[in-house]
Structure 1
């Protein structure tokens, strides 16, 4: 048998038709926790759960419902009614403020326009408290409706009959929520950086290495983890893939083993474990990097970021493995044919359709 549960139906018309009605479940504590709180004086633990508080509310307002014929949980006699004693129901911010002042809690300081500092009378998230104004312990405690609502949202982590915008307005003034958001963002960014670093960087076969490979091909192949035949095809240019050389075109992580690689030369090859960079490809790499940088100026920032930011970053990292002199020399050696090749690469004419 489950723990006791009450479904409370509420209405707030100003929230609009889609959010006006809301059913809130109020549960008692689970038996495992209730046993811990058991004592001889059961009344001492009357407020130990939302359901117990709700039951107390029903007990306190039963008299009013019986005499007024009402059905509301929050109801009370209205001594200021025009025809003498009347009956009213519902609650508002003013009820809580009046109760707080009557029980020794100081009111929240307001600015000259009658608004709580930072508040907005038209916004449900109004009532933002100037934390510095209420920080002094010697001035006594204050009760603030905005802070109470914000606390509920902080603990629940999701809107309660609010729009997303209102929910974010509440948490925007919450220092703990802001700090948690920063932690989440930092962890997400660190995770993405770790993923990027985990991807194998493209090894660069330098001129010095190729000179040694000409003298001892088998040893050079072993140094880069390749067999002699594959290494020979790689350095000959037989397996060039525009920006890099490919060590195994029929074992692609994009299309799977046993199939010709259908990866994008611009996007996929730069993050492929089969890629190796050779000095003869540096002019094309520099020209591609230059074209992507110009596109960054001409395209919408979001579109450029979506299409080209990763490739641009990987090319930047790859070019950083060469010296400034090597890059300058390669820039001067870019041919008309290579510029046309880069133009086809950027415009997607080299990709499989």
Structure 2
């Protein structure tokens, strides 16, 4: 009961949404996140016995149930295709199994061998993974089969050509072609909307009935049809439409709605300007929030997106800024109008939202990527595009863009894909987009084979610059073990040599002036702070500070910091590591070069847990004043 004493009202079971295995026992109805349109998968098409068809239907329904990792229709369809491929293999056996108990581990091994024999190495892992994850949904396996289904999947088959980025010139050509398409579409639809508004409000004279047709197209995304009792003629355009000289039906409907190729141009430009995952772009919503509340501040739209593979962190917000991305623009920024809306992610998003307004109303959808399709699984009409390559590949072929010219080689066509645009964005910007920096290094830049020589040159130049800077800066002063032993006997002599008070020398020798990697003899008159005020600079800057003194007791920490900086090379992009850590790495290397191997080995052996703790806090910036 509710707090007010009323009995809770449960949903009427007659109106519940059917999902999972339907009444026939072999059809599975599936939904994807954020889409109320279901899709049915018929397991009766599988080339196995009726008993196995029902078994696969049950397992597939559990695999695609709410809360599973299959959250997009594309991934659900891939799993069903893997299941169908497995049943085709079973049907080709001399004695195919007919019941669940007849499925044995050697069938899984044989399926893997069959895929390899057919040369399907690129999809081998996904097919086997899809089958095993479906079959694991059932509990009634014997021990041997359960162990087989729990075995690790084969490693990814990575090829050099499948994950390569574009050169900057190619990247700019792709973005320029997409902008041209969107500009033409915007001019066409905006012009027609002005005419339509005048026609509806002022009743413009329309002797050719073109404005009447435009009004119908804008409202219905279709042209008037003949109707009647003859199916072969009822779907034909009305005679006044077909005989009015308005053009083909798809061309007429594009008076007010985008074509699939124009929506592809928008997706291409969004990928070039944001670097987002292709799935995120194609499923992008038209709903958004303005960071300034439409009060005239910086143009930024905040949209909610979903990245299913992130599981519990799938839902996230993405900020689309009105700041131009100059990487994808021409080399001459002066040729770009400040009012050009297609050089910012915010501008492209708002334009697509404007141009698909009528399409969203007709479709009853909040999806951004909508277009009028002349055919498809659901016939003609306004349709949402689910996969990233469905419309982008024809757009790429239609433009006939060329790869960068190589001397002595014939020109080749440039194949555009959202995945490669994302790879190029990540390479050019060197920052993660909806993933960690380690994922950026290992899973994206690590497998990228495009423009590698140019990237290495940029990193090498940056590294040489940081090393030269380290050589130019004054290196931290140090005291040897002999000097410290002498100072213990005669601190006044060291105080006179360093221009310090006797008390400061004693405190330094006792470790009371230590920071992290050294001692600080003057905390209020260093080069990185205001005179007379305590220094607030990072302890990393002590490596070139005249107030710092390094002594043998600091060696364990210095060695540990150098090791940690070296280890971070493997978890960051080369350019990011060079920019942040190449300078202190070179400085520490020069400091340690003052000592012989015996001293360094003894210091490394003296490293204990307290050293690890202070270095960890130091490199995590827990010791910085903020």
TM-score, scaled to structure 2:
0.26
Greater C-alpha radius of gyration: 1
TM-score, scaled to structure 1:
0.45
Compare relative contact order (CA 8 Å, sep 6+) and give the higher one, 1 or 2: 2
